[in-house]
Amino acid sequence: MLIMGAGNCSGQAISDFSKHIDGQLMRVNALLVASTIVIGVMVGIGAYGQRYRHHPLTSFFFLGASTLFLPILSYVVSTISGNQGPVAVLSDTQIITAWCNTWKHITLVLVWASLVQIAAVNTSAIVAGDDKKGRNIASPPAMVLLVQAIWTSYLVVNFIGKAYDADFGNVFIPILVPPFAVLVAKLLVKYHAWYGARGSLAFGRNPNLIVGYMEQLKAELASEQHSLPPLIVTGEDTTLVHKEPHGYSLNQANGTGIDNNGLVTIDRVWQLEDDIFLTCSTKQLKDLCYSFALFKLLRCRFARHTIAETGSMKAHTLLPHVLLQVNDDERALGVIADELSFLHDYYYSSLPALYSRSWFPILSIFISLLSMGWSLFCILATTFVIVMLASKGGAGQMHCSIDCHPMYDKNYGSLFFDFAPVFLLAALVVLAEVRETACYICSNWTKVSLICRYVRHASSWQQSPWKKKLIGRLLRCQCKLLKHWEDKMNQCSVLALNRRTTPVALLHRLIPLLDRKKVPRAVKIAVLKPLRSPSWKNRSNGVASLCTRLQLQANNNPFSASSGVKAIADTMLVAHIATSILEVRRSEPPRQADSAHKIAATHLSRYCAYLVAYVPELLPDDDEWCKSLYKAVQKKGKRALGAAGGARAAASNP
C-alpha cells in the first residue's frame, strides 16, 4: 500500500474518494428521511387514530420502528463520526488521506434524534389496568423508550466531550441539552404517573373497590329508598378501606353505614344548584359526572368482575326516569357517548393515569410548553438557515481537504437533508404538544375533577367570585380534537342490490371501505323508544331482559329454529336480508310516518350486518363462527342474485 503524498493525487484517486463520501452520505440521508416519514405516521396514529394502535399491523409497525431506531442512529452517528477529522480511503493500491469537518452534520442528527424520541414519548400510551384472571391490560411506558433515551444521551455527552477537546464545546450545549432535558422529564413524569396510578384506588385498583362498594351499597339500597344511588365519582384515595375476598370495602361509620365523607358521589353532584356556573350548563356537568360513575361500573366488566346488579341497575333507572324525557334524545345518548369516551381514554391514552395526582397535569402542561417553545425555536432557526443557504447557493454536510492535493477543498452533501427532517419533526412535535395541552385543559377528565373539587370545597369556593369565574371558563372549554363520538354509524350489506357502474362505485368494489353515515334522528328515536316504555322501566335486570328479547325462542319468535336460525348473529342477518328485500320491492313512496320507520329499519339492519362482519367480538356468539356465517351468507346471496339476474335476462330475451 502506498500513502499518497502532497501533490501526488491522480484524478481517479480523487474520484474514488468522492464516491466513497457521497455513498456514505446518501445512505445516511436515506435513513434520516425514511425514519422521519415513519415517525410522522406514528405520530398521526398515536394522536388521531389511537384505536388502531392495537391492530396487529399497526403494532408490528410500531415495534419495527422502535427496534430499528437504535441501530439506525448508531450507524448514522458512527458513520459521521468516522468521517470527522482524519479520513483514509483506499483507491486501488493507494491510500488517500484527508481532513473532514462534520460538526454541523452530527449536531443536526442528534437534534433529529431528540425530536424523534419526544414524538415517540408523546404517542406512547400508559394504562394503569387490572390483572384480574390473568388479563393483563396494564401498560407501562415502553422500556425501549428509556433505553433509547439513555443511549442517545450517551452519544450527546460523548459528542460534547469531543467538542470540548476541540475548544468549542460551549457552542453545542445550548443546542443539544434542552431537548434531552425535556425528553428525560417527559419519561420520568410518565413512569411516575404510571406507578402511582397502578396502585391507586381511583385508577389501577378501582374495579376492586367498586365491586366491594357495590356489595355494601346493595344492602343499604335494599332497606332505603334512594332516588339516585350514591355511585362513586371521585375521592377513592381519600377513604379508609380494608381488603375483602372479592375486593375492598369501605369502613363503616359508627357501625351504621358506609363512611363516604371523603367520597364525591353522584347524588351529591346532583344536588348542585342549577346556577352555580353562569357560563355553562350545570345540567350537562351533572350528566358528565353521571357518565363518569357509569364508566367506573363499566370498567368492572372489562376487568371481568361481577358487580352487584342491584345498585348498578338502580343507577341505570336514572336513564329512563330523568334522561329519557320526551324530545330529549340527545341528552340520553350524550351520557352514553361520554361514558364510552371515558373508557376509550382510559385504555388508549395517557391522560387518565396523569390524573392520579393533582399536580401531574400542571407539570405535564409546563413540560409540554417547554417542548413546544424549543420546537418552535427549531422551526424558526431552520427556516432562517435554509433561506440563508439558498441565497448563498447551499452548504455541504461535510467539508473535506485532501492531503495529496492542497488545492482540493470540497463540500459534500447538502445540509438541506439535515434541516428538512429537523423542520418536519419539530412541526410534528408542536402539533402533538398542542393537542396534549388541549387535552389537559379541555378534556372531560379535567371537568369532572373540577366539579368534584367544587363539591368538596363548595362553602369556601362559593365565596370567591374569581374562582367560580375561572372554573366556569374551564368547564365551558371545548375542543373538537377530543371528540371521539362522531354521531356516525358504520353500514354494511350482505346483498349487493342495485349495483352502480360509476367509476367511484367500481373503485369502491376494488377497495372495499366501510360506509359511514350520520345517525338519523329516526334511528335515535327507535333505539330509545323501548327504554321509555313502562314495561322496560319496571324490569329488574336490563341486561338479561335485553338478551331475552334478542335470543330466538322457538315458541314466540318469528324465526323458528327449524329455519336454521340458531343465534343472535343469525337473527341479525335474517332481519337485514328481509329489510333489504323489502326496501327494494316497495316502490311506492312511503308516508311520512312510514318513512321514519323505513329509515330506522334500513340503517339498523345494515349496522347489524356490520357488527356480524367486522366486530363479532361485540356479540355473544363465537367470533370465528360469526365471520364464517357472514361469508357463507354473502356467498349464497351472490349466487341467488346471479341466478335471479340470469332468469330475468332469459325472460326478457325469449
Select the more confidently predicted residue: 182 or 532. 182
| pLDDT bucket at 504, cuts 50 / 70 / 90 | low
Q: Is residue 178 part of a domain?
A: no
Contact 519, 489 (CB under 8 A): yes
Q: SS3 string of 26-76?
A: HHHHHHHHHHHHHHHHHHHHHHHCHHHCCCHHHHHHHHHHHHHHHHHHHHH
| pLDDT bucket at 467, cuts 50 / 70 / 90 | confident
Question: Domain count of the chain?
Answer: 3
Query: Does residue 370 sit in the same domain as residue 334?
Result: no
How confident is the model at residue 134, as a pLDDT? 43
Contact 577, 495 (CB under 8 A): yes
How confident is the model at residue 335, as a pLDDT? 86
Query: Does residue 90 sit in the same domain as residue 128?
Result: yes
Please state the rounded mean pLDDT for residues 174-198.
88
Convert the pLDDT of each residue in 533-569 to its tens digit. Answer: 666 555 555 444 444 454 444 344 555 444 556 678 8
How confident is the model at residue 295, as a pLDDT? 92
| pLDDT bucket at 363, cuts 50 / 70 / 90 | very high
Please state the rounded mean pLDDT for residues 402-408.
68
| pLDDT bucket at 260, cuts 50 / 70 / 90 | low
Contact 413, 398 (CB under 8 A): yes
| pLDDT bucket at 371, cuts 50 / 70 / 90 | very high
Rounded Cα distance between 256 and 510, Å, is 68
Highest mean pLDDT among 307-321, 475-489, 565-579: 565-579
Query: Does residue 346 sit in the same domain as residue 413?
Result: no
Query: Does residue 322 sit in the same domain as residue 379?
Result: no
Does residue 337 carry a pLDDT above 60? Answer: yes
How confident is the model at residue 369, as a pLDDT? 93
Which grid coordinates belong to 329? 334524545
Query: Does residue 364 sit in the same domain as residue 347?
Result: no
Lowest mean pLDDT among 133-137, 206-210, 241-245, 505-509: 133-137
Domain end among 335, 351, 367: 351
Domain end among 301, 327, 351: 351
Does residue 654 carry a pLDDT above 70? Answer: no
Lowest mean pLDDT among 151-165, 240-254, 616-630: 240-254
SS3 category, 226: coil
Query: CA distances (Å), 470 to each of 218, 277, 439, 444, 477, in order?
Result: 39, 10, 17, 16, 11
User: Residues with Cβ < 8 Å from 194, sequence gap 6 or more?
Assistant: 126, 128, 140, 141, 353
Domain end among 409, 440, 471: 440
Contact 193, 140 (CB under 8 A): no
How confident is the model at residue 376, as a pLDDT? 93
Please state the rounded mean pLDDT for residues 485-497.
80
How confident is the model at residue 274, as a pLDDT? 55
| pLDDT bucket at 508, cuts 50 / 70 / 90 | low
| pLDDT bucket at 334, cuts 50 / 70 / 90 | confident
Inter-residue long-range contacts of 615-619, CB under 8 Å, 24+ positions, other chains counted:
616/569, 619/568, 619/569
Select the more confidently predicted residue: 494 or 410. 494
Query: Does residue 636 sit in the same domain as residue 519?
Result: yes
**Regarding beta strands 232-234 and 264-265, do their DSSP bridges make them parallel or antiparallel, or are they unpaired?**
antiparallel
Query: Does residue 492 sit in the same domain as residue 543?
Result: yes
Does residue 649 carry a pLDDT above 50? Answer: no
How confident is the model at residue 589, as a pLDDT? 60
Contact 228, 293 (CB under 8 A): no
Query: Does residue 604 sit in the same domain as residue 637?
Result: yes
Q: Is residue 432 part of a domain?
A: yes
Please state the rounded mean pLDDT for residues 98-119.
83
Lowest mean pLDDT among 497-511, 546-560, 582-596: 546-560
How confident is the model at residue 320, as a pLDDT? 55
Please state the rounded mean pLDDT for residues 312-323.
56
Query: Does residue 552 sit in the same domain as residue 608?
Result: yes
The CA angle 283-284-290, to the nearest 5 degrees, is 90
Please state the rounded mean pLDDT for residues 570-581.
87
**pTM score of the predicted model:** 0.78
Does residue 370 carry a pLDDT above 90? Answer: yes
Burial of 122 (0-12, 13-18, 19+ CB in 10 A): buried
Measuring CA to CA, which residue among 18, 120, 140 is closest to residue 73?
120
How confident is the model at residue 133, as a pLDDT? 45
How confident is the model at residue 365, as a pLDDT? 92
Query: Does residue 293 sit in the same domain as residue 407?
Result: no
**Domain range holding 212?**
206-351
SS3 category, 351: coil
Q: Is residue 565 part of a domain?
A: yes
State how far Cα 103 lies from the chain centre: 39
Measuring CA to CA, which residue among 298, 292, 250, 248 is closest to residue 270?
292
Query: Does residue 335 sit in the same domain as residue 412?
Result: no
HSE value, Cβ hemisphere, 13 Å, CA-based, for 248: 18
Does residue 99 carry a pLDDT above 90? Answer: no
Q: Is residue 8 part of a domain?
A: yes
| pLDDT bucket at 374, cuts 50 / 70 / 90 | very high
How confident is the model at residue 544, as a pLDDT? 47
Does residue 634 carry a pLDDT above 50? Answer: yes
Contact 73, 369 (CB under 8 A): no
Please state the rounded mean pLDDT for residues 412-416.
80
Please state the rounded mean pLDDT for residues 462-477.
77
Please state the rounded mean pLDDT for residues 406-431.
82
Query: Does residue 548 sit in the same domain as residue 609?
Result: yes
Q: Is residue 249 part of a domain?
A: yes
To the nearest whole number, what is the mean pLDDT of the chain?
A: 75
Lowest mean pLDDT among 319-333, 542-556, 616-630, 636-650: 542-556
Please state the rounded mean pLDDT for residues 598-621.
88
Does residue 324 carry a pLDDT above 70? Answer: no
Convert the pLDDT of each residue in 77-97 to its tens digit. Answer: 776 665 555 666 666 666 777
Does residue 372 carry a pLDDT above 70? Answer: yes
Measuring CA to CA, which residue among 391, 402, 395 is closest to residue 419?
395
Contact 386, 78 (CB under 8 A): no
Q: Is residue 310 part of a domain?
A: yes
Lowest mean pLDDT among 137-141, 293-297, 470-474, 618-622: 137-141
Which grid coordinates belong to 557? 319468535
Does residue 144 carry a pLDDT above 70? Answer: yes
Q: Is residue 183 part of a domain?
A: no
Query: CA distances (Å), 442 to each of 190, 197, 473, 483, 639, in order?
Result: 20, 21, 10, 11, 53
State which H helix or E strand residue 323 sits in: none
Please state the rounded mean pLDDT for residues 100-104.
77
Q: Is residue 216 part of a domain?
A: yes
